[in-house]
């Protein structure tokens, strides 16, 4: 699904991460880990074509990503900051990509919008505005909007940030259900250990000082087998509830 080759990313004269190389396979839940400020969101934005790499290559389904005017992106996105339009109903929010990228009639769009909201457990909330919903419901609505065009790939930046533990677990379950039932490949940035261990097919651990990937693989295996003190520390600090 995604191939990253010898990628350097950052801003202006600052290289945050360099010589990144990894693959995301079809159908995986691929998790990006690392301390705050190491460049996880920046990496995601490079993978989405919102930022230009300093060097190297990113291929999505075998071709370099180029967002073309007139073509919808080949993925859906849930940004770290959420970003539903507050003055619009959930139905209007979810219909935006359909109106922008498809020439479908309003009644067909309406049917699709309802089905996407049902998919994330928000049937009956079509006419609510975001301020009338809980944090978890807003996240689910954001996922419904990201799925509107039925992308094969979804990017999620800290989906459970700011949610209480029970709501976070429900969101993890939704992500896994969508991954299994729709086959959507997921690339997820998250800090939550419980979430990582539950949903990840595989992960990469980024490190700011090393400016790169310090571990890669199944997090359940890394957690018990890694000899790298930085990786051990990452998993243990999380396990201690800090």
Ligand X SMILES: Nc1ncnc2c1ncn2[C@@H]1O[C@H](COP(=O)(O)OP(=O)(O)OP(=O)(O)O)[C@@H](O)[C@H]1O
Site string for Mg ion, 79-108 (x = CB under 5 A): ------------------------------
Q: Is 42 in the site for Mg ion (CB under 5 A)?
A: no
CB closer to ligand X, 4 vs 109:
4
Q: Which does 38 bind (CB under 5 to 8 A by kind): ligand X, Mg ion, none?
A: ligand X
Q: Integer distance in angstroms from the first to the last C-alpha of the chain? A: 34
Which one of 3, 15, 28, 42 is in contact with ligand X (CB under 6 A)? 42
Among ligand X, Mg ion, none, what does residue 84 contact (CB within 5–8 Å per kind)?
A: none
Q: Considering only CA atoms, which of 205, 204, 143 is closest in space to residue 179?
A: 143
Taking contact as CB under 6 A, which single stretch among the options 33-41, 99-107, 123-131, 135-143 is the one that binds ligand X?
33-41
Residue among 90, 77, 84 nearest 123 (CA): 90
- The one of Mg ion, ligand X, none whose footprint includes residue 120, by CB under 5 to 8 A per kind, is none
Q: How far is the CB of 40 from ligand X (least distance, A)?
A: 4
Among 41, 102, 115, 167, interactor with ligand X by CB under 6 A: 41
Q: Which of 194, 196, 190 is nearest to 239 (CA)?
A: 194
One residue of 5, 26, 37, 87 binding ligand X per CB under 6 A: 37
16 binds, among ligand X, Mg ion, none (CB under 5 to 8 A by kind): ligand X
Helix residue ranges, H only, the chain: 40-47, 90-101, 106-119, 135-146, 165-182, 193-199, 219-225, 229-239
Tell me if 28 contacts ligand X by CB under 6 A.
Answer: no
Burial 93-119 (b: 16+ CB within 10 A, else e): bbbebbeeeeeeeeeebeebbbebbeb
For ligand X, the closer of residues 37 and 86 by Cβ is 37
**From 29-37, 53-61, 136-144, 196-204, span contacting ligand X (CB under 6 A):** 29-37
**Residue 123 backbone dihedrals phi, psi, to 5 degrees:** -60, 135
41 binds Mg ion (CB under 5 A): yes
Q: How far apart (Å, rounded) are the C-alpha atoms in residues 17 and 43?
A: 8
Please, are residues 117 and 145 in contact by the beta-carbon 8 Å criterion?
no
Q: ∠ at Cα 151 (136, 4), nearest 5°? A: 100
Interface with ligand X by CB under 6 A: which residues?
11, 16, 34, 36-42, 80
């Amino acid at each position: 699904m995604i191939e990253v080759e010898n990628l350097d990313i950052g801003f202006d004269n600052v290289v945050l991460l360099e010589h990144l190389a990894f693959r995301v396979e079809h159908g995986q839940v691929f998790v990006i880990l690392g301390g705050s400020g190491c460049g996880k969101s920046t990496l995601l934005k490079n993978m989405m074509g919102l930022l230009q790499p300093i060097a190297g290559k990113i291929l999505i389904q075998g071709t370099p990503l180029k967002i073309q005017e007139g073509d919808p992106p080949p993925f859906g996105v849930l940004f770290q900051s959420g970003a539903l339009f507050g003055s619009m109903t959930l139905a209007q929010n979810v219909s935006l990509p359909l109106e922008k990228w498809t020439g479908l009639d309003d009644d067909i769009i309406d049917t699709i919008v309802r089905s996407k909201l049902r998919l994330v457990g928000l049937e009956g909330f079509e006419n609510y505005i975001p301020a009338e919903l809980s944090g978890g419901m807003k996240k689910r609505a954001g996922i419904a909007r990201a799925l509107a065009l039925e992308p094969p790939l979804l990017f999620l930046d800290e989906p459970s940030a700011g949610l209480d533990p029970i709501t976070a677990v429900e969101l993890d379950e939704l992500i896994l259900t969508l991954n299994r039932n729709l086959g959507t490949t997921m690339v997820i940035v998250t800090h939550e250990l419980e979430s990582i261990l539950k949903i990840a097919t595989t992960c990469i651990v980024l490190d700011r000082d090393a400016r790169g990937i310090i571990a890669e693989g199944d997090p359940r295996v890394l957690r018990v087998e890694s000899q790298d003190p930085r990786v051990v520390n990452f998993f243990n600090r999380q396990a201690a509830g800090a």
